[in-house]
Amino acid sequence: MEIAVVILNWNGRKLLEEYLPSVVDYSKNATVYVADNASTDDSVEFVRSKYPEIKIVQNDENGGFAKGYNDCLKRIKADYYVLLNSDIKVTENWIQPVIDYMESQDKMVACQPKVLSLLEPSKFEHAGAGGGFLDKYYFPFCRGRIFQEIEEDQHQYDDNREIFWATGACMFIKAELYHSAGGLDEKFFAHMEEIDLCWRLKNLGYKIGYCGQSHIYHLGGGTLNYMTPRKTYLNFRNSLYMITKNYRGNLFLLVFNRLIIDGVAGVRFLLMGEFKHLMAIVNAHFDYYKELKHYNKIRKQYKKTNAGNENNAGYYRKSIVLQKFLKKRTRFSQLDEADIKH
């Protein structure tokens, strides 16, 4: 079985210098690749001289996370890809438990390990934590992370289970399915493209998993800080993109509800004096409407080809926004497991 650990890099010499050693030490059963997105620093030269065993794939341009991976993975042959951020420290035996779990499950095509914070190792990390879910309005959240509320790791999520989406910070995915599903959506540029890919796979009837027997440590915000207006813009815009493509119900009603909820978020930013974040939400909606014709066309194509195959495991039947901000529920254990589809 060929396993390719693929690290996307753009001007990340310092990150590679810091985090490549653990990947090299603990990935003996895989081939490690650095996929370079047209860096202008000495990243490539550093890898070539320091780690000659690592294979390098160079892209002609920096097309962002989505296009960067799509371009490089076309040139990498493997049974499994492991998409790994450049700011991650892996641990001993981090690969095999995930592969074993996926191989034991029928129709499981993507999976993530437990993601802990490098800066606070006793806590989960924002990007992925203990596995990803979507609520009734398709806001993403995780076991171990609801919005900005981060849980301590007390081994409460050491299990293996089916989830809705796996983090792009460390995603194991069957190569054949990555390509047949169309890879990552390049219009997203970055952020939430992995949720969109997982959702597309679930609409084809496949499973997404979480393996608590493997864990890694993520610096987080290594390429774009979690609280920047740019991140706010991408998250709100890309969320609407993926809903339009993948949601199978009344799209108008769902987008209308999201417009109201996003408007409330905008008012909250206004009251906090965060005007750049407010404008990021406004711009996200305007740019979404510009692409609505494009994504509605894709939506119609998807509905024709995979109607009736949807796997909704990991879907939360209630609003995580209301649970967090009105009912003050900040831990996954405070949610009723019966409200989550299995």
**Residues 29-55: tens digit of each pLDDT:** 999 999 999 999 999 999 999 999 999
156 and 72, same domain (yes or no): yes
State the pTM of this model: 0.95
pLDDT band at 222 (very low <50, low <70, confident <90, very high): very low
233 and 132, same domain (yes or no): no
Sheet containing 140-142: order of strands? 132-134, 140-142, 145-146, 149-150
pLDDT confidence of residue 223: 47
pLDDT, tens only, 186-213:
999 888 999 999 999 999 999 999 999 9
pLDDT band at 225 (very low <50, low <70, confident <90, very high): low
Domain boundary among 164, 196, 218: 218
CA angle 221, 185, 44 (to 5 degrees): 55
188 and 259, same domain (yes or no): no
Is beta strand 88-90 parallel, antiparallel or unpaired with respect to 3-9? unpaired
Could you list the beta-strand ranges (E) of 41-156.
55-59, 80-84, 88-90, 108-117, 132-134, 140-142, 145-146, 149-150
247 and 298, same domain (yes or no): yes
49 and 164, same domain (yes or no): yes
- On average, the pLDDT of the chain sits at 95
pLDDT band at 302 (very low <50, low <70, confident <90, very high): confident
The token duo for 338 is: 């019966």
Is residue 325 in some structural domain? Answer: no
pLDDT confidence of residue 196: 97
Identify the domain containing residue 146 by its residue range.
Answer: 3-218
131 and 243, same domain (yes or no): no
**Cβ atoms of residues 276 and 225 within 8 Å:** no
pLDDT confidence of residue 226: 58
Give the residue, 125 or 309, on which the prediction is more confident: 125
pLDDT confidence of residue 309: 81
Is residue 63 in some structural domain? Answer: yes
Handedness of CA 42, 47, 52, 57 (dihedral sign): negative
In this structure, the dihedral spanned by the alpha carbons of residues 268, 187, 241 and 331, taken in order and rounded to 10 degrees, is -60
188 and 275, same domain (yes or no): no
Q: Tell whether the model's pLDDT for residue 220 goes beyond 70.
A: yes
pLDDT average, residue stretch 139-162: 97
The token duo for 199 is: 């959702």
CATH code of residue 53: 3.90.550.10
Is residue 297 in some structural domain? Answer: yes
123 and 17, same domain (yes or no): yes
pLDDT confidence of residue 265: 93
Could you identify the residue written with the tokens 């450049």?
86
Q: Tell whether the model's pLDDT for residue 215 goes beyond 50.
A: yes
pLDDT, tens only, 250-283:
999 999 999 999 999 999 999 999 999 999 999 9
Cα-based distances in Å from 60 to 9, 10, 39, 57, 67: 13, 12, 9, 10, 11
Counting Cα atoms < 13 Å in the Cβ hemisphere of 28 gives 4
